[in-house]
Amino acid sequence: MIQAISVTGLAVFTGFTGLMSLGHAAFIAVGAYTAAICTKTYGLPFIAAIPLAAIMAGLVSLVIGIPTLRAKLRSDYFTIATLGFGEAVRVLLENLSITNGARGLASLTKYSTLPRAAIALAIVVFLAKNFVFSRYGRMAIAIREDHVAAEMAGINLFNVRLRSLFFSAVCAGVGGAFHAHYIAFIQPNMFTNVQSTLLTASVVAGGIGSLTGPVIAALLFASIPELLRAAEMWRLVVYGGVLVAIMVLRPQGIFGYREINHLFRRKRPAVVAEAAGSSADGGDDS
């Protein structure tokens, strides 16, 4: 449930803006630490800590986003930059005194109850939905589809990408706040790039360009290993395999480029649905 909050953010960024981030664990970490410090050190109520965590994660995203997105880096260079950034944040957390270094912050109050997490998830998904289906989301999708054409439609790549990144980091920050108050202690080494990778796995499995798909995938991913704790090692092996298999066999994921309600609500003509499938398969007909 908590994971799904962060996944929603990444779904907006990767699925709708077409950039891949391996540094989202850093935003979760920033959210987690901000919230933990708020509640533990300053004794703020949890409800006040969440927005602060969100804002802090958002601000941190600007630190990496402004230089890299302004330079319009190739997408794979951007990805490696986020990887390095994630590492930098972790090293920083290990060396600051306010975060208590590598030992982390312990004995936090368990504020993250299931209903609270569910409410937060619902709000985040609602906002993400509004974002994606507004003109802001449309601009992001246009960039994902063809950034040259998007620019020639007057879209400022930097603004739109940065906005998506910010939004996505804010979601991750909220996710982090809940995470910290769920397991009650946090350490820098909980937020490695493995964590970022798992988020990406959920987005990809759920379907690039879909919101509900990734959320469902995140819920599934989170619940399966809870049942099979013993298979911890193999879980990641399976995730890796699943990622490759999805890309090779069904790149649109479970609900690629569609939302779950579309499957029921809008009956598209068969021809269109067919075209949707084949283009998501690659679009080599161009």
Which one among 200, 202, 210, 212 touches another protein, defined by CB under 8 A?
A: 200
The site string for another protein over 28-57 (x = CB under 8 A, - otherwise) reads ------------------------------
DSSP state of 15: I
- Quote the CA–CA distance of 66 and 47 in Å, as a whole number: 29
DSSP state of 5: H
Nearer to another protein, 226 or 284 (CB): 284
The site string for another protein over 206-245 (x = CB under 8 A, - otherwise) reads --xx-----------------------xx-xx-xxxxxxx
Question: Minimal distance in Å, beta carbon 36 to another protein?
Answer: 23
Question: What Rg do the C-alpha atoms of the chain give, in angstroms?
Answer: 19
Nearer to another protein, 39 or 200 (CB): 200
Nearer to another protein, 106 or 281 (CB): 281
The site string for another protein over 142-161 (x = CB under 8 A, - otherwise) reads x--xx-xxxxxxxxxx----
Q: Which of residues 160-189 bind another protein (CB under 8 A)?
A: 163
Nearer to another protein, 163 or 179 (CB): 163
Tell me the window of 29-37, 38-46, 72-80, 108-116 that interacts with another protein (CB under 8 A).
72-80
Nearer to another protein, 84 or 222 (CB): 84
Phi, psi values for residue 284, rounded to 5°: -80, 5
Q: Give residues with Cβ within 8 angstroms of 85, minimum separation 6.
A: 23, 26, 64
**Reduced 3-state DSSP string for 113-162:** CHHHHHHHHHHHHHHHHHHHCCHHHHHHHHHHHCHHHHHCCCCCHHHHHH
Contact 205, 217 (CB under 8 A): yes
User: Does residue 281 touch another protein according to CB under 8 A?
Assistant: yes
SS3 at position 111: coil
Nearer to another protein, 118 or 247 (CB): 247
Question: Minimal distance in Å, beta carbon 20 to another protein?
Answer: 5
Distance of CA 231 to the CA centre of its chain: 25
Which one among 6, 8, 68, 202 touches another protein, defined by CB under 8 A?
A: 68
Closest-CA residue to 24 (of 13, 33, 35, 34): 13
Number of residues that bind another protein (CB under 8 A): 83
Question: Minimal distance in Å, beta carbon 238 to another protein?
Answer: 8
CB atoms within 10 A of CB 128: 23
Question: Minimal distance in Å, beta carbon 4 to another protein?
Answer: 19
Nearer to another protein, 98 or 114 (CB): 98
Q: Which of residues 251-280 bind another protein (CB under 8 A)?
A: 251, 257, 271-272, 275-276, 279-280
Which position has the token pair 């449930």? 1
- Quote the CA–CA distance of 198 and 204 in Å, as a whole number: 10
Measuring CA to CA, how many Å separate 179 from each of 31, 32, 110, 114, 134? 9, 7, 10, 12, 29
Q: Which of residues 74-133 bind another protein (CB under 8 A)?
A: 74-77, 79-81, 83-85, 87-88, 91, 94-95, 127, 130-131
